[in-house]
Chain A
Amino acid sequence: MELYQLTIHEIKDKLDAGDTTAAEIVNSVFERIDVVEKDVKAYITLMRDSAMAEASRADEALKKGRGGMLTGIPVALKDILCTKGVLTTCGSRMLSNFVPPYDATVVEKLKEAGAVLTGKTNMDEFAMGSSTETSFYGVTRNPWNLERIPGGSSGGSAAAVAADECIAAIGSDTGGSIRQPAALCGVVGMKPTYGRVSRFGLIAFASSLDQIGPFTKDVEDCAIMMNVISGYDRRDSTSSPEEVPDYRRFLGTGIEGLTIGIPKEYFVGGLDPEVEKAVRRAIKTIEGAGARCIEVSLPHTEYCLPVYYIVAPAEASSNLARYDGVRYGFRFREGRDLMDMYKKTRSAGFGDEVKRRIMIGTYALSSGYYDAYYKKASQVRALIKRDFDEAFRTCDALLTPTTPTPAFCIGEKTDDPLQMYLSDLFTISANLAGIPGISVPCGYSASGLPIGLQFLAAHFQEGRLIQIASEYEKQAAVLDANLDPQRRRPNL
């Protein structure tokens, strides 16, 4: 087994035992990148030199017995997170020259924990997309099938973990942007509760929905990453003072006696039969581990997509107003006057999907339309949240497919935004309700594409998700060796 194939906890064991060094680990990951990156194209920016320097510092720290939770672990960052002194593009031409003078809080926390940052990963422009095809920096390919999309918007991070181009990665999830690519790339991805992880330094798409979370090779690594990135931040007023438990505590504690709800609205038309089959098999596995699965209803599910496509673009239309070419980023230089500069800068700096959403959002907030769109959507959002509150009165967690289908082909849906939007059908609800969700691999299509299983839990119940997902991961590997985290990797 190669070093780059290891998980965080395996590397930690080796480092602690003195079997390897951080430098060897980082070298191994960059050698892997040298081999597969040309096919996968997961990264926008590689940070090879600083990574090597960080690796030797990590080895120094380890020698002195001063290792942190992630000392020497190569971690990739979605290019939506601000990194001091390192180009941060958000997948857009608009920020093609933007070098932030500050680190996102999550980046600070990773550095403090000793992580070695490998680079900035590709993403849909301003996180608007479900396939990483709207990036100004080219398309990332699904490591399981290079003709297919890796999902999005955090497609680069998902693909980097799946292709072993890093050990773990950070993404952001506004409507499924962590869980959907995790499902399509066969890795573990968690969207924490809104407010669990600081958004400071996360370039905003839709502020009331955005949340940062990890991509990992297994559930134990997910718990470790959550331990590092969670917690209150005085720089983010919406971050929660709720105490952060040690998420590793929930690993392998069993699920006997738990009640898992199966929302019937997530098993209707549009769900790919292969996905349904894999999820139904997962339900059996869960029941086999001693949990009780019951059917529940989330009656407002059909409104999730329309509500999301009003709230998210509305917030985005305002969040993206700052990209005007005046202070930083791309500027169209030949403007006649101020208005002309604004128009030409934004016309040339943003791609089609971003412009589409700015227009939808501007419309939804316009005077005369606000009540019918934004206000109504906010009211329905409260009902969607109430559906979940209801469900969590009887259930410890909910189980759903993560996506309606496995990864589709590159270019297949780029001309049909509505079809593209449907790929987030099952993930959007968690963002609207602010609850945590996790996607874990649960099977493969006949053509060998990964399928994801989603668990959702009540606010701040990430520990519960880790408990259930880790048990599922263990049981599933027993029943199907191809689901063993060490064996589920693409042939690249």
Chain B
Amino acid sequence: MEFEPVIGLEVHAQLLTEAKIFCGCSTKFGAEPNSHTCPVCLGMPGVLPVLNKKVVDFLIKMALATNCTINKKSSFARKNYFYPDLPKGYQISQYAEPPAEHGWVDIEVNGDKKRIGITRIHMEEDAGKLIHDEHGLASYVDLNRTGVPLLEIVGEPDIRSPEEAAAYLRRLHEILIYLEICDGNMEEGSFRCDANISLRPVGERNFGIRTELKNMNSFRNVQRALEYEIKRQRYILEAGGEVVQETRLWDDAAGVTQPMRSKEEAHDYRYFPEPDLVSVIIDDAWIEEIRRGMPELPLAKRERFVREYQIPAYDAGVLTASRALADYFEEVARLSGQPKAAANWVMGDILRFLNEEKKGIEACPVSPTNLAAMIRLVENQTISGKIAKEVSETMYRTGKTPEEIISEKGLVQITDAGVLTDVLVKILRENGEKVAQYKAGKEKLFGFFVGQAMKATGGKANPQLLNELLKKMLANQE
């Protein structure tokens, strides 16, 4: 029997607000344990949560970017369970009345376009972290992360393959980063994904029994875990067995999913309306204010780049991978007046240098002004394309302007026909034998003469002029 997978993803995105969702503590990552805490996020007696309005701003942004309906009124609820990283014994989340629903994003897998539904997006607080003593004698709790705002983005079970799952995740990831509301770091847990997956016979309308997969901290792991789980469930179903509804953890090292101990998942969260907070009212004016400040989203930007700069769709995709990269490219294109050359230089040398050092475009030592200046120097033949490679690398290492580098290293292109003629005359005279062979039909030797001339000029000869002069002189040779 043929089976098809049915996959729905839940994404938790940690928001880049300065302050936590219900108190004024900093959300900065990596501080001394428990230094970013106060009575509110420590869950001390008698304290009350106060909603950080910035979190609602971010929620509205994400809702608009994913085509959600924004509900005028939403409310918070308590999700009750005991764990030492949860100081109040409950997490403040949203349950019965979510602020955003019925959205979608478009994805593309192997050239096929598909729309994936978004069930809901809501706000909630993150929990803290447990640090286990290496000797197993004690556990310590760090509550810096407690109360850091999260968006939970619940997707519809519209996904039919691990590739689609990865494409959907990349799309959400890219939107969050474009909106500058999440740093998207999966390893540090600021972008987390859980998956629900079941199989059903092709043509069947009802869903099969699903498992929930957790602990996948990269796009690749999400894809691998889903691939494994499809195989596992298919094996069970083909043998006439039944999939157990359970939560399974992805074990990266072993490359398998393992059931979570049932004790850990047997939770009745006893959701009920949070009495310490009032309803969140999002009026049209608020939505409009956020809409006005919305950046151009990746898909729209991609289409515009193809149209406006006449660059291939693939290049537009690479250049819009992040908002900062796209901005960098656009700045270089504008300053140099040569979008295609700008695209080639950014995608070629600049990204290669950055990738070698695992740096983002924000950390690029070559300013758009300098790169554009260099492109213009190539255009007006001050330097050759080959010399430009050397200049760009030096700009990257030193941060100097191309003019500085060229004058320091004496790299200005030789475009004086007289100077080049003198060089060629000398080369042809010294290689009489080869000239004769060339004349006899061994035309490949043309490249040898060019190479000799470049060597003699330290690569600074203008190639077109050199070629022209050489052709003319060889033709005139007796």
Q: Which residues of A contact B (CB under 8 A)?
A: 80-82, 88, 90, 95, 98, 100-102, 104, 199-204, 206-208, 234-238, 314-315, 317-318, 320-322, 324, 326-328, 338, 342, 362, 365-367, 370, 374
Name 12 A/B residue pairs within 8 A (Cβ), A-sorted. A98-B45, A100-B46, A102-B39, A199-B46, A201-B46, A236-B50, A318-B272, A321-B89, A324-B89, A327-B87, A367-B268, A374-B272
Identify B45's interface contact among A100, A206, A326, A362, CB under 8 A. A100
> Which of A80, A88, A199, A321 meets B82, CB within 8 Å?
A321
CB-CB under 8 A from A88, the residues of chain B are 45
Q: Which of B42, B45, B84 contacts A338 (CB 8 A)?
A: B84
Q: Bound complex: CA of A203 vs CA of B141, how far in Å?
A: 24
Contact of A367 among B44, B88, B270, B277 (CB under 8 A): B270
* Residues of chain A within 8 A of B276, CB atoms compared: 204, 207, 237-238
Q: Is the CB of B84 within 8 A of A324?
A: yes
The distance in angstroms between the C-alpha atoms of A371 and B215, with both chains bound, is 33
Please name all residues of chain A whose beta carbon is closer than 8 Å to the beta carbon of B272 when the two chains form the complex.
Answer: 314-315, 318, 365, 370, 374
A326 pairs with B141, CB closer than 8 A? yes
B399 at the interface (CB under 8 A from A): no
Contacting pair A237 B45 (CB below 8 A) = no
Contact of B46 among A200, A237, A315, A338 (CB under 8 A): A200
Cα–Cα distance between A341 and B278 once the two chains are bound (Å): 35
A101 CA / B46 CA spacing, docked (Å): 12
**How long is the Cα–Cα vector from A98 to B46 in the complex, in angstroms?**
12
CB-CB under 8 A from A314, the residues of chain B are 272
Smallest Cβ distance from B57 to chain A, in angstroms?
A: 18
For B141, the chain A residues whose CB sits under 8 A away are 326
Partner of A203, one of B43, B45, B78, B277: B45
CA gap between A234 and B275 in the complex, in Å: 16
How many residue pairs bridge A and B at CB < 8 Å? 102
**CA of A200 to CA of B268 in the docked complex: distance in angstroms?**
29
Over the window 43-73 of chain B, the binary record of Cβ atoms lying under 8 Å from chain A Cβ atoms (1 yes, 0 no) is 1111111110000000000000000000000
Cα–Cα, bound, A192→B339 (Å): 69
CB < 8 Å: which of A82, A318, A320, A324 contacts B270?
Answer: A318
- Which of A104, A201, A234, A318 contacts B50, CB < 8 Å? A234
**Extra A-B contacts (6), CB below 8 Å, given A101-B39, A101-B44, A200-B47:** A204-B45, A238-B48, A315-B272, A317-B270, A318-B89, A365-B271
Whether A208 pairs with B275 at a CB distance below 8 angstroms is yes
- CB pair B45–A238 under 8 Å, yes or no, is no
Question: Is B80 interfacial (CB 8 A cutoff)?
Answer: yes
Contact A104 to B39, CB < 8 A, known contacts A238-B276, A318-B80? no
Which chain B residues (1-60) contact chain A, with CB distance < 8 Å? 39, 42-51
Chain B positions 260 through 293: 1 when the CB is less than 8 Å from some CB of chain A, otherwise 0? 0000000010111001111000000000000000
Assess whether A82 is in contact with B46, with CB atoms less than 8 Å apart: yes
Taken together as a complex, chains A and B put the C-alpha atoms of A114 and B194 apart, in Å, by: 55
Whether the pair B47, A321 counts as a contact (CB closer than 8 A) is no
**Residues of chain B in range 120-167 having any CB-CB distance to chain A below 8 Å:** 139, 141
Against A, the Cβ 8 Å flags (1 = close, 0 = not) of B66-106 are: 00000000000010101010011110000000000000000
B49 touches A322 (CB 8 A): no
Nearest CB in chain B: distance from A230 CB, A: 17
User: B280: shortest Cβ distance to chain A, in Å?
Assistant: 10
Residue in B45, B80, B82 with the greatest tally of chain A CB atoms within 10 Å: B45
Q: A365 touching B80 by the CB < 8 A rule?
A: yes
Partner of B80 from A201, A234, A321 at Cβ < 8 Å: A321
CA distance in complex: A207, B49 (Å): 12
CB distance from B91 to the nearest CB of A (A): 11
Complex-state Cα separation, A102 to B47, whole angstroms: 9
B89–A203 CB distance below 8 A: no
Which one, A101, A201, A315, A338, contacts B275 given CB within 8 A?
Answer: A315
Q: Which residues of B lie under 8 Å from residue A322 when comparing CB positions?
A: 43-45, 87-89
Bound CA span A104–B90, Å: 22
Q: Say whether, besides A235-B50, A237-B278, A238-B278, A82 and B80 are in contact (CB < 8 Å).
A: no
Tell me if B45 and A82 are in contact (CB < 8 A): yes
Distance (Å) between the CB of A210 and the closest chain B CB? 9
A41 to chain B, nearest CB (A): 23
Closest 4 A/B residue pairs (Cβ) = A321-B89, A207-B275, A365-B270, A208-B275
Q: Once the chains bind, are B89 and A237 in contact (CB under 8 Å)?
A: no
Question: In the complex, A101→B277 CA distance in Å?
Answer: 23
* B278 in contact with A204 (CB, 8 Å): no
